[in-house]
A = this chain, B = another copy of it.
Amino acid sequence: MYSFKNDYSEGAHPRILEALLRTNMEQDEGYGLDRYSKEAIELLKEKIMNKDVDIHLLQGGTQTNLIAISAFLKSYEAAIAANTGHILVHETGAIEATGHKVISIASNDGKINSKDIEKVLNEHINEHMVRPKLVYISNPTEIGTIYKREELKELSETCKKNNLILYVDGARLGSALMSPTNDLTLSDLSTLTDAFYIGATKNGALIGEALIISNENLKDDFRFNIKQRGGLMAKGRVLGIQFLELFKDNLYFELANHANKMAEIINKSIKECGLDVLISSNTNQIFPIVPNDLLTKLEDKYKFTLWEKIDEKNSVIRIVTSWATKEDMARELANDFKKLI
């Protein structure tokens, strides 16, 4: 059984473990004040081409989202998210547990636009309702689509005009940035958003997400929030060493590129079989619609996620590739689509 179930089925990229080994017995400060974390942060600032940001290295996506969003909002302020948004559906109410409502926007492609936001603003007009204050988007979205530069720019302008915070969940940001249709850069993200995070757990690290805060008003005392929510690692070096390894050359991008390429191999086969997809994606998550008997046959050889039933005869499955996906297994799956259909 080979797994295409997610992008966290293996450990870390070997270079990361080697870096941990290499530095293992050096003594250093705790709680992210070690030299590696500091170097990693400086390196990330260079990659982002923006020195005026604060960067915090955190452990996981849900943790990053809940710490950032609860830190950014006053108690009566709410986040806005697409109805597929991870904070809305797959984080066990983590944002609400910090006291904040998440307002849902109906979306077919996992993305939200300025009109959606303005509609929400028009519906929230006085103190009997929450105050919408933060726009949460994921790039890529939870269904594999990505934001184009123009789209993010428009969102950014809408947010600035309406005094909203624009926050990007980048759990799989590498895959978005390496998508063939992408035209966004890390630098764009830092100038067009108030905060975003670069996910590493799903792109080669054991754990690790780097939160970048551009908005000056959101920076103060952020480490208090991290500590209070249980996110300040005693051995913060573990995060610093990993990010340093991923970004000291292009490893982060190469790994994401590999994941995308593996998805493309499978995607191509799906199209050639004449199968539809739930939504067209150029990133490392693909959502073919498969007849139920094909589903059964695939399940004998592969692990993947049954996403939803479309009708009596067809289901959507989710296939995820990663930095660790073996090319021969991607090709085998691609062939099996054709063979087993």
Binding site for B on A (CB under 8 A): 2-3, 5-6, 8-12, 14, 17, 20-21, 23-31, 59-67, 70-71, 74-76, 78, 89-94, 96-102, 104, 127-131, 201-202, 206-207, 221, 223-235, 237-238, 324
Query: Which residue of the partner chain, among B29, B90, B206, contacts A235 with CB atoms under 8 Å?
Result: B206
Give the copy number. 4
> Is the Cβ of B27 less than 8 Å from the Cβ of A9?
yes
Task: Knowing A9-B30, A27-B10, A59-B59, say if A97 contacts B228 (CB, 8 Å).
Answer: yes
Chain B residues with Cβ below 8 Å from A127 are: 92, 221, 223-224, 226-227, 232
User: Given the complex of chains A and B, what is the CA–CA distance between A11 and B28 in angstroms?
Assistant: 9
Q: Are A91 and B128 in contact (CB under 8 A)?
A: yes
Q: Are B17 and A21 touching (Cβ within 8 A)?
A: yes
Q: Within 8 Å CB of A207, what residues of B?
A: 207, 233-235, 238
Partner of A128, one of B129, B227, B233, B324: B227
Q: Which of A92, A96, A98, A225 has the most CB of B within 10 A?
A: A92
User: Is the pair B63, A231 in contact by a Cβ cutoff of 8 Å?
Assistant: yes
- The 8 Å CB contact of A97, one of B11, B75, B89, B93, is B75
B89 touches A93 (CB 8 A): no
